[in-house]
Amino acid sequence: MKRAASGKALRPRRSEFLVFGAPLITEAEIREVEDTLRSGWLGTGPKTKRFESDFAAYTGARHAIALNSCTAGLHLALDAAGIGPGDEVITTPMTFCATANVITHVGATPVFADVDPRTMNLDPDAVAKAITPRTKALIPVHFAGRPCDMEALLDLAAKHRLIVIEDAAHATEARYHGLKVGSIGDMTAFSFYATKNVVTGEGGMLTTHSDHWAERIRIRSLHGLSKDAWKRYSSDGFQPYDTLYPGYKYNMMDLQASLGIHQLARVQENLARREAIWRRYDEAFEGRFILPAPAEPETVHARHLYTLLLEPETLGMGQLEFLEALRAENIGAGVHFVALHLHHYYRQRLGTKRGDFPNAEWISDRTVSLPLSPKLSDEDVEDVIAAVLRISER
């Protein structure tokens, strides 16, 4: 147990651990899952199709293909676009490893470009400097739910004939200049992992306006089987199918879609709760930490991650010490992210090192993500605030 300056032991702020990113699951989801279990159709089926239709309507995309992860979506997008050995794909080092991993999966080379220290998103000027004759695609990541500068990135893509595949794992609710994320780039991948704003446990969605790419992706997402192969065991009787491509096992199940249907229906209500928590955090931490920058004009921030930036010299402790102190207060937190160019695999493969992308490193060394979920009660939020302030004053 920690001790105050007086030597008196300090009790943790909470008696029970507050899990970081715990989702809000309601009776509607539970009933839908129960209905799916009773139906006997657990795999890809009618509820997956309904979720796809709902998501396409929500984003304004012509097509939405439900998958088992955002990673699958990014991989399929590169695969369908013909990205492969000898090609380069530019992305950010401030992202989860999956964003770069899928580039290596298709045999291409990930090329990192530094981020804007304010937005934490790709800096278009850095992207421009990273483009070579081998560059074939860009993967901008809408970090924490903040839309990237898509106008500048799309201009670069048009100039150099590049495909734009958006990583919107954090950005289901995001909008940019009147357009929903999911209807802007060539293809967009979303995540419905357990900590995301729309939750199916594991799951993802890929959106596109292109009939050509949508057909390729749908076929390749289920072993490369011919269209609507999932219906081969339906009440219509056995449906003959063919293998058109050596595809992948990336399809979503109706069990997952049962959650997604209701999660998506409440997405705006949940965003309003996230925004209220965000404002309370801003109010409490103003002047004590570097706060997330305000959303840019003509955009909607999805409010997926609330990331404080520590100032170790002033605070008297580093990132890992701060996280351990929060854990001792029974508050869960995270780091988003350790800059990818500092990870062992990419250091070995690409020869990257500390100093290559100073803005990403500066953020990576200081960032701490606090709990942010519509499941949080007002008491939970005040516990987080009290614990953070206690640590900063210790």
CB atoms within 10 A of CB 298: 11
Q: In what order do the strands lie in the sheet with 179-180?
A: 179-180, 175-176, 299-300
How far is residue 151's CA from residue 169's CA, in Å, rounded to a whole number? 20
pLDDT for 7: 46
How far is residue 343's CA from residue 364's CA, in Å, rounded to a whole number? 12
How far is residue 394's CA from residue 391's CA, in Å, rounded to a whole number? 5
pLDDT for 351: 98
Helices (H), the chain: 27-39, 46-59, 70-80, 97-105, 124-130, 150-160, 211-220, 254-265, 267-285, 312-315, 319-328, 344-350, 358-366, 378-393
CATH 3.40.640.10 in the chain, residue ranges:
27-265
Q: Which of 129, 196, 231, 249 is catalytic?
A: 196
> Measuring CA to CA, how many Å separate 148 from each of 63, 282, 361, 388?
22, 22, 19, 29
> Is residue 95 a contact partner of residue 114, using CB atoms and an 8 Å limit?
no
Widest distance between CA atoms in the chain: 77
CB atoms within 10 A of CB 318: 13
> Is residue 182 a contact partner of residue 246, using CB atoms and an 8 Å limit?
no
Nearest-10 crossing angle of helices 267-285, 254-265: 60
| Predicted TM-score (pTM) of this structure | 0.95
> Is residue 61 a contact partner of residue 187, using CB atoms and an 8 Å limit?
no
Considering only CA atoms, which of 325, 52, 284 is closest in space to residue 190?
52
CATH 3.90.1150.10 in the chain, residue ranges:
267-393
| Six token digits for residue 142 | 């809408």
Q: What is the pLDDT along the chain (394 residues), one digit of tens a residue?
A: 555 554 455 789 999 999 999 999 999 999 999 999 999 899 999 999 999 999 999 999 999 999 999 999 999 999 999 999 999 999 999 999 999 999 999 999 999 999 999 999 999 999 999 999 999 999 999 999 999 999 999 999 999 999 999 999 999 999 999 999 999 999 999 999 999 999 999 999 999 999 999 999 999 999 998 866 666 656 665 667 889 999 999 999 999 999 999 999 999 999 999 999 999 999 999 999 999 999 999 999 999 999 999 999 999 999 999 999 999 999 999 999 999 999 999 999 999 999 999 999 999 999 999 999 999 999 999 999 999 999 999 8
> Is residue 43 a contact partner of residue 392, using CB atoms and an 8 Å limit?
no
How far is residue 82's CA from residue 268's CA, in Å, rounded to a whole number? 36
How far is residue 220's CA from residue 80's CA, in Å, rounded to a whole number? 8
Q: Active-site residue 196, yes or no?
A: yes
- On whether the 267-393 domain is CATH 3.90.1150.10, my answer is yes
pLDDT for 234: 60
pLDDT for 321: 98
pLDDT for 3: 55
How far is residue 197's CA from residue 202's CA, in Å, rounded to a whole number? 12
CB atoms within 10 A of CB 85: 8
Considering only CA atoms, which of 111, 158, 179, 113 is closest in space to residue 350?
111
| Class at the top of the CATH hierarchy for domain 27-265 | alpha beta
**List of long-range contacts for 311-319, beta carbons under 8 Å, 24+ apart:** 311/366, 312/366, 315/392, 317/391, 318/365, 319/365, 319/366, 319/367, 319/368
pLDDT for 226: 82
| Six token digits for residue 386 | 């009290």
The number of residues making up the chain comes to 394
How far is residue 286's CA from residue 302's CA, in Å, rounded to a whole number? 21
